Every structure is written in C-alpha cells, then in structure tokens.
Amino acid sequence: MEQRVTGWVGWVWFGAFALLSVGLFNLITGLIAVFDEDKLLAWSPGSGAYVVDISTWGWVHLFLGLLLTCTGFALFAAATWARVVAIIAVLASIVWNFFWLPVTPWWSLAIIVLGAFVLWALTVHGDEVERAVR
C-alpha cells in the first residue's frame, strides 16, 4: 500500500532550512570570536563579576554551528539521525525561549509556536520526507 506525502513535509524543509541558516550564522560568529583576543566582563547577581574569554565562546559556537549546518543538510537528504538531532535542537530552542518569555515575550512566543510546528512535522510526518526524496 502506497502512503501519500502530505504538506507537512514543507514544515520539515522549513526546519531544515532554519537549522542550516542558524548553523551558518553560528559558524560565522564563532570564527570571528575564535580569532578575537578580547575579554568580556560578565556579571552574575549571585556570584559577582567574572571574566569570560570570547575565544572560548567562539569555539562553542563554531562547534554548534558545524553540528547544526551538517544536520540541516542531512535533514534535506532525509537522514534519520538528522531528524533525531533536529528534534533535540528544536526542543532545546523551545525550552530556552520559554525562559526568555519575560524578557522578550513576543519573539519568544513566535519561536515557541514555530518550533512546535517544526517539532510536530519532524515527529509525526518525518518519515514522509524519505518518500518525498525518492
């Protein structure tokens, strides 16, 4: 029995493009920060001030950018592992933006809603991507 491909595959493609875009931006900012020798003074209300090396922040963003970019390309190719990584990334984004609701309510709400659609498409209709690629 042939199963049909629904329009939800478009949301999977949207998720793949979003991962690819965010990954590329993280790669660029990570590369810039890796070669920057500046220090950043950060303030935490509970523990006071501390100095953060921007290059360390850059290496983290460089690694995350590489992971998200590879995941975005693999999601376009309908790789199963990419769906798993994308689901984890979308869940992390939703949780992260939930904590930022008091600071940026409209932006966080928009990201949470978009993330919910992409999460639904990845979990429920993710297997349709394989049929759409064939």
Q: How far apart are CA 98 and CA 46, in angstroms?
A: 22
Q: How much is the average pLDDT of 68-72?
A: 92
* Structural domain boundaries, residue 124: 9-133
Tracing tokens 């790669």 back to the chain, one arrives at 27
pLDDT tens digits for range 22-57: 889 889 888 888 887 666 656 667 776 666 667 777
| DSSP-assigned letters across all residues of 56-106 | HHHHHHHHHHHHHHHHHHHHHTT-HHHHHHHHHHHHHHHHHHHHTTTTSHH
Count of domains forming the chain: 1
In terms of DSSP bridges, do strands 39-44 and 48-53 run parallel, antiparallel, or are they unpaired? antiparallel
Calculate the average pLDDT of the chain. 84
Q: How much is the average pLDDT of 83-88?
A: 92
Report yes or no on 16 lying in a domain: yes
Q: pTM of the prediction?
A: 0.75
Report yes or no on 105 lying in a domain: yes
Helix (H) or strand (E) holding 43: strand 39-44
- The whole-number pLDDT of residue 43 equals 64
